[in-house]
Each structure stands twice: as structure tokens, then as C-alpha cells.
Amino acid sequence: MARILLVDDETLITDSLTYSLKREGFQVEAVADGNSALQVAREIEPDLIVLDLMLPDISGFEVCRRLRTFTTAPVIMLTARSEEIDRVLGLEVGADDYLAKPFSFRELLARINALLRRVALDIQASTPQAPATVLTMRDLSLDMEARRVLKNEKDVQLSGREFDLLQVLMKNAGRAMSRDDLIGLVWGTDWSGDPRTLDVHVRWLRTKIEDDPANPEFIQTVRGFGYRFIDPNDLS
């Protein structure tokens, strides 16, 4: 039974979502502020977090940024604001999905289930029975079994989505991958979020694995199409 942490200071929302999610078979813990969210997240280790942007103590952006220092649990960010900058900032601090208020419970439930399916597939792929496979390209290596990335033999901290995206790109090194293909392989073919999520994750991957993110050597943009991880034979 998956455990969900709800973070919202609107009692009507948390009471309603808690009731509805429990009816769907989830365990639910609800808190009303950011500091409580960080404390409870450490204590219960939730499988997924639904996080409101506007909180009474610290912003949802900051909460999400701090969560990413100790958990890879998927985060769905909620907000009453619909500006594009909010959506981009939420993704940049580590949110996996974004839902603007007001929203239907069925829409939230669909996104929760999609993210939990993705996590389950990640766990299945990294079970001890799976053969150890390491992709190495120059000073960058990715261990698919341990879900670990090294750059110059130093650990690179990636979110679950960032790791999945890098793995897909490295497996297809030298091949131009379309935006639709990448979104389908990383987020799932039933994902219906903002397609610009892909660009945000590519940008953050570049800041972590490229020596000069402004002039990337690994992840190249294929204008009007998608992205390409440079073939190892082309690396100097």
C-alpha cells in the first residue's frame, strides 16, 4: 500500500483528498506547513508527495528543493497560480509533475498512479536478479543496477527522472531521439503533463554532467526534433 504525504494549509482540501485517497487504498498523512512536511517526510518516507506551492511558513519551491536532498519520492506540486514561470521553477527544484487548482480528484489520481507505476518499474529494473550493466563514456559512467552516476569518479546526484532520461540517452548514444520518444520512454506514453518538462530536465542534467553546460559535449540539441547523446566514438 503506497504512502502519500499531503502538504497544504487548506483544511478543506486535505480533508477531502485524505478521504478520497484512503478510499482508493492509499495510506495518507497530511500536514499544513513546509517545516512539518520536511520532518514528516523524513519520518515516514512517503512513496509520493503532493505539495502545495503557497504555504504559511516556507514556499513549496523551497520545500521541494530541501526534499530533494534526502528523498527521490515523486512530487506533484499544486498551485492556485497558473503562470508558466511557476511551472518551470517547480520542475527545476525537483517536482515531477504540476497541477493547477482547481483540479478534479480523478485527474490527481491519474497522475499519482502514473508516477507510482514509473517508480515500480524503476525498482523492478534494479532488482538483484538484473545483470549489472554499466555505461561508460569518457569520464561519465552510469550503473543501471545501482542507479548511480559518476563523473570523474565522483558521485553525481540525480533525481529519478534525471537518471531515467540520462539512461535512455546513453543507451541510444549517437542516435537523434525525438521529443515524443523521450517523453514516452521516460514519463510514459500515458503522461499528459507539460512537454517543456523534458527541456527543464535536460537543462538540469547538463548542469550536472557537462564541464560547460552552455556548450554541451554530451547532450546535444537537435533543433526542431529533440536531443542526441554524442556517440562515444566522437568524443575526443
Give domain limits for the chain: 3-125, 134-234
Q: How far is Cα 108 from Cα 14, in angstroms, rounded to an integer?
A: 13
Report pTM: 0.56
Burial of 141 (0-12, 13-18, 19+ CB in 10 A): middle
Question: pLDDT in tens for each of the 236 residues of the chain?
Answer: 789 999 999 999 999 999 999 999 999 999 999 999 999 999 999 999 999 989 999 999 899 989 988 988 999 988 876 555 566 666 777 788 888 888 899 999 999 998 888 877 665 555 454 455 888 888 899 998 888 999 998 999 998 889 999 999 998 888 899 998 999 889 887 777 777 889 999 999 999 999 999 999 899 999 999 999 987 655 44
Identify the pLDDT of residue 130: 46
Identify the pLDDT of residue 82: 58
Query: What DSSP state is assigned to residue 95?
Result: -
Q: How far is Cα 138 from Cα 152, in angstroms, rounded to an integer?
A: 9
Mark residue 152 as left, alpha or beta (left: phi above 0; alpha: psi -120 to 50; beta: remaining). left
Identify the pLDDT of residue 236: 45
CB 48 within 8 A of CB 115: yes
Identify the pLDDT of residue 129: 47
Identify the pLDDT of residue 79: 82
Identify the pLDDT of residue 182: 92
- The neighbour count for residue 108, using CB atoms within 10 Å, is 18
Cell of 12: 478543506
- What topology does CATH give the domain 134-234? Arc Repressor Mutant, subunit A (1.10.10)
Yes or no: domain 3-125 corresponds to CATH 3.30.450.20: no
Query: What DSSP state is assigned to residue 233?
Result: G
The residue behind cell 535512455 is: 168
Q: How far is Cα 120 from Cα 113, in angstroms, rounded to an integer?
A: 10
